């Protein structure tokens, strides 16, 4: 494992939903890549100016598709 990476665990159900999302929507090569993207987006969101309503809705739609909300 890369020294700059750590291992995390998620439920099998959530992993399967993420894998299904990748297969249907594309844009990511692995669940790891998707999770890293989502975490980066959520954690850096606080550093950015407020999102437009349209951007906020797009994020909510993606999170719903992944089963987060």
Within a domain: residue 19? Answer: yes
- Does some domain include residue 33? yes
Euclidean distance between CA atoms 7 and 63, whole angstroms: 22
Q: Which residues contact 28 (CB under 8 A, 6 or more apart)?
A: 22, 34, 37
Q: Which two tokens stand for residue 36?
A: 């890293």
Residue 49 lies inside a defined structural domain of this protein = yes
pLDDT at 49: 62
Residues sharing a CB contact under 8 Å with residue 1, sequence separation 6 or more, in sequence order: 7
- Predicted TM-score (pTM) of the model is 0.60
DSSP designation for 66: T
Question: Could you read off the pLDDT of 29-63 as tens digits, one per residue?
Answer: 999 999 999 998 888 866 656 778 998 899 899 89
Tokens of 59: 């994020």
Number of domains composing the chain: 1
d(CA 18, CA 31): 6
Instruction: Give the model's confidence band at 9: pLDDT under 50 very low, under 70 low, under 90 confident, else very high.
Output: very high
Range of the domain at 17: 12-65
């Amino acid at each position: 494992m890369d020294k700059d990476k750590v291992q995390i665990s998620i439920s099998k159900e959530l992993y399967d939903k993420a894998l299904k999302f990748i297969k249907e929507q594309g844009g990511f090569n692995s669940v790891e890549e998707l999770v890293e993207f989502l975490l980066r987006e959520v954690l850096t969101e606080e550093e950015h100016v407020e999102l437009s309503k349209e951007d906020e809705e797009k994020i909510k739609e993606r999170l719903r598709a992944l089963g987060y909300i």
